[in-house]
């Protein structure tokens, strides 16, 4: 009953998000000679994707008064800080060697530019919602003895615009005008920064320009359809489902036939056969009077399941929106906006599932349960964000959120997320108390026999976590290469397939480990089922460490703090989501097997 409940509000929430997350495009129609605004955005090291600074923080050509462009919530969360540039571009009118500005560089300006070029800084402009990128300069190193180290700055930008009719379909920039910074001194003549503009007719329609932008990206494109990993995951899930549906079902059929015999045994059986049958009954049937005993800390347990159900709704909603094509290169930060809105709007899912389960477990203080549910993810998120934001603010990067954005996010949670959690909880608490279990629970708990180490909960959790992680390990690399690299992910169909595979694998493994645990006469399956699915987060954390040190080229305190801070949050989301799936599968399984045997 819990799994359908988790996704009841999903379609309503998804429809609302489809309307709210559509960002307004500034892409428009132009007439000959009309101005085409170019916005400067950010600069940063090529190998540190999330260490970005405002373009005007460098000693470059800038207007006397900097005018910032109004941006969406998603753009701000993505570190965008667009401002009006000094480029004077007219639609369909070419320009050659137009002077942008003449600038005399001080010693500190030269030092900053040298450091930026040595760190492989790139710049990003935005034209008609199209990102235009290029390197700030060029670094040349050659020979060991003697070693040469030359730092060059590009002083000329060559813009090329592709258009069809009255709309821009693509834009690019090429750099030239190499100037050796080692030969420049404050006494040198002012540097001349120039630009050129050319216009090229294109056969690509405006509606198809997203594919053109992806195919001609400044960053390398290496994410392709990886059928081998998908086939590997499909084989894994097929084997697991076969194991559960064939082997385990045959065992259960034998158990049902054995446990449903009369206490005297089959008609005509001898006393020795009856005694042997009694010994066989020392399996999962023997704990029928304890298996539905509520777990300890049931308020916290219910909150974990409720928040896990909320994140399942969020991920499902995001994948649905991605499959509908709402996340593309035009919608800057649209996925960030969708995540924030979905988190707020699905808070009612967490409140409903948590309070409903809490009431079924016999809980009475539903207000306390709602408060714990609201804080279970919000508090860790705030703590991690506070540390990360403090570090990036100290370094002056654009990843530090403005206070206006912080207040907006806080207001969204206080005025939308938290009230919806209360509303969901008020509906969830209306269910009758009790689990309506097929077995009565004893007042005194049964003694649990000692278990061998290979049947202990750490071993079960490690095995379960490894199997769940193996279903997504290959796809996880592509996700990390997108979030923490320079890739643009567009294989949402494959990601959805892997997501479904992950849910199936987690549910199958959870059912299997729960059966083995009950067969060993250990009825404490509640928390163990939760950790059985959630233990995959440990392997995700280990993979994050491996990716940072051996697969990525990131470096520096800013990037490290962001990577490990948000990786911890990702692992926490894995734990909550897969823990909820694991619990739901085990709960349905336990109810099924005990409803199909005779009780004394």
Rounded to the nearest integer, the mean pLDDT of the chain is 84
pLDDT tens digits, residue range 105-159? 999 999 999 999 999 999 999 998 889 999 999 998 876 666 678 899 999 999 9
Separation between Cα atoms, residue 109 and residue 153, nearest integer Å: 12
Separation between Cα atoms, residue 542 and residue 48, nearest integer Å: 21
Q: Which of 294, 299, 248, 255 has the alpha carbon at shortest distance from 524?
A: 294
Q: What per-residue confidence (pLDDT) applies to 247?
A: 67
Domain ranges of the chain: 34-216, 296-436, 452-599
Instruction: Look up the pTM and report it.
Output: 0.85
Q: What per-residue confidence (pLDDT) applies to 573?
A: 96
Please compute Rg for the chain using Cα positions. 30
H or E element at residue 72:
none
Q: What per-residue confidence (pLDDT) applies to 123?
A: 94
Residue 355 has pLDDT above 60, yes or no: yes
pLDDT tens digits, residue range 402-439? 888 999 999 999 999 999 999 999 998 888 777 777 77
H or E element at residue 102:
strand 95-103
pLDDT tens digits, residue range 163-220? 998 899 999 999 999 899 988 888 888 999 999 999 999 988 888 887 788 777 777 6
Residue with tokens 């404490």: 524
Residue 26 has pLDDT above 60, yes or no: no
Which residues 6+ apart lie within 8 Å of 350 measured at CB? 303, 306, 307, 309, 310, 373, 374, 421, 424
Q: What per-residue confidence (pLDDT) applies to 10?
A: 47
pLDDT tens digits, residue range 482-538? 888 766 677 788 889 889 989 988 998 898 888 888 888 888 889 999 999 999 999
What would the mean pLDDT of 292-307 be, rounded to a whole number? 91
Residue 20 has pLDDT above 70, yes or no: no
Strand ranges, E, within 165-226: 167-180, 191-201
One-character DSSP codes across 43-56: EEETT-TT--EEGG
Q: Are strands 95-103 and 38-45 parallel, antiparallel or unpaired?
A: unpaired
Separation between Cα atoms, residue 82 and residue 75, nearest integer Å: 9
Residue 280 has pLDDT above 70, yes or no: no
Q: What per-residue confidence (pLDDT) applies to 225?
A: 56
Q: What percent of the chain has pLDDT over 90?
A: 44
């Amino acid at each position: 009953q819990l799994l359908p409940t988790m996704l009841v509000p999903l379609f309503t929430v998804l429809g609302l998000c489809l309307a709210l997350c559509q960002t307004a495009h500034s892409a428009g129609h132009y007439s000959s000679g009309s101005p085409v605004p170019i916005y400067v955005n950010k600069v940063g090291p090529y190998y540190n994707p999330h260490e970005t600074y405002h373009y005007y923080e460098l000693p470059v050509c800038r207007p006397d008064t900097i005018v910032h462009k109004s941006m969406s919530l998603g753009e701000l969360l993505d570190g965008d800080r667009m401002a009006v540039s000094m480029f004077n571009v007219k639609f369909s009118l070419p320009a050659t060697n137009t002077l942008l500005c003449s600038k005399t560089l001080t010693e500190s300006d030269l030092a900053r530019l040298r450091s930026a070029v040595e760190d492989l800084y790139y710049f990003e402009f935005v034209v008609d919602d199209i990102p235009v990128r290029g390197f700030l300069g060029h670094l040349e190193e050659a020979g060991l003895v003697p070693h040469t180290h030359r730092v060059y700055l590009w002083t000329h930008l060559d813009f090329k615009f592709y258009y069809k009719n009255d709309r821009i379909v693509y834009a690019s920039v090429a750099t030239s005008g190499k100037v050796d910074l080692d030969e420049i001194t404050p006494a040198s003549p002012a540097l001349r920064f120039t630009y050129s503009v050319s216009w090229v007719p294109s056969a690509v329609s405006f509606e198809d320009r997203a594919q053109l932008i992806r195919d001609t990206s400044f960053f390398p494109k290496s994410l392709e359809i990886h059928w081998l990993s998908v086939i590997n995951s499909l084989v894994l899930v097929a084997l697991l489902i076969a194991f559960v549906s064939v082997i385990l079902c045959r065992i259960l059929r034998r158990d049902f036939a054995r446990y449903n015999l009369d206490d005297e045994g089959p008609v005509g059986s001898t006393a020795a056969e009856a005694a042997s049958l009694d010994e066989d009954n020392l399996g999962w049937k023997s704990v029928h009077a304890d298996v539905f005993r509520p777990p300890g800390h049931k308020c916290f347990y219910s909150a974990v399941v409720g928040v896990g159900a909320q994140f399942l709704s969020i991920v499902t909603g995001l994948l649905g929106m991605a499959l509908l094509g709402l996340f593309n290169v035009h919608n800057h930060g649209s996925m960030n906006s969708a995540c924030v809105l979905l988190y707020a709007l699905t808070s009612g899912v967490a409140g409903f599932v948590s309070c409903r389960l809490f009431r079924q477990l016999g809980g009475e203080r539903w207000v306390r349960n709602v408060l714990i549910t609201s804080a279970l993810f919000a508090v860790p998120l705030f703590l991690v964000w506070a540390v990360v934001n403090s570090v990036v603010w100290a370094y002056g990067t654009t990843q530090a959120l403005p206070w206006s954005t912080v207040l907006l996010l806080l207001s969204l949670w206080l005025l939308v997320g938290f009230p919806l959690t209360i509303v969901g909880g008020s509906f969830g608490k209306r269910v009758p108390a009790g689990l309506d279990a097929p077995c009565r629970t004893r007042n005194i708990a049964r003694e649990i026999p000692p278990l061998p180490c290979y049947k202990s909960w750490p071993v079960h959790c490690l095995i379960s976590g490894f199997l769940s992680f193996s279903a997504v390990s290959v796809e996880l690399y592509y996700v990390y290469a997108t979030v923490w690299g320079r890739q643009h992910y567009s294989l949402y169909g494959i990601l959805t397939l892997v997501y479904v595979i992950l849910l199936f694998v987690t549910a199958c493994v959870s059912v299997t480990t729960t059966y083995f645990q009950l067969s060993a006469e250990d009825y404490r399956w509640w928390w163990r089922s939760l950790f059985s699915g959630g233990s995959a987060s440990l392997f995700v954390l280990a993979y994050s460490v491996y990716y940072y040190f051996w697969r990525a080229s990131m470096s520096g305190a800013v990037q490290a703090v962001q990577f490990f801070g948000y990786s911890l949050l990702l692992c926490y989301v894995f734990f909550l989501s897969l823990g909820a799936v694991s619990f739901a599968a085990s709960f349905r399984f336990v109810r099924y097997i005990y409803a199909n045997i005779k009780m004394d």
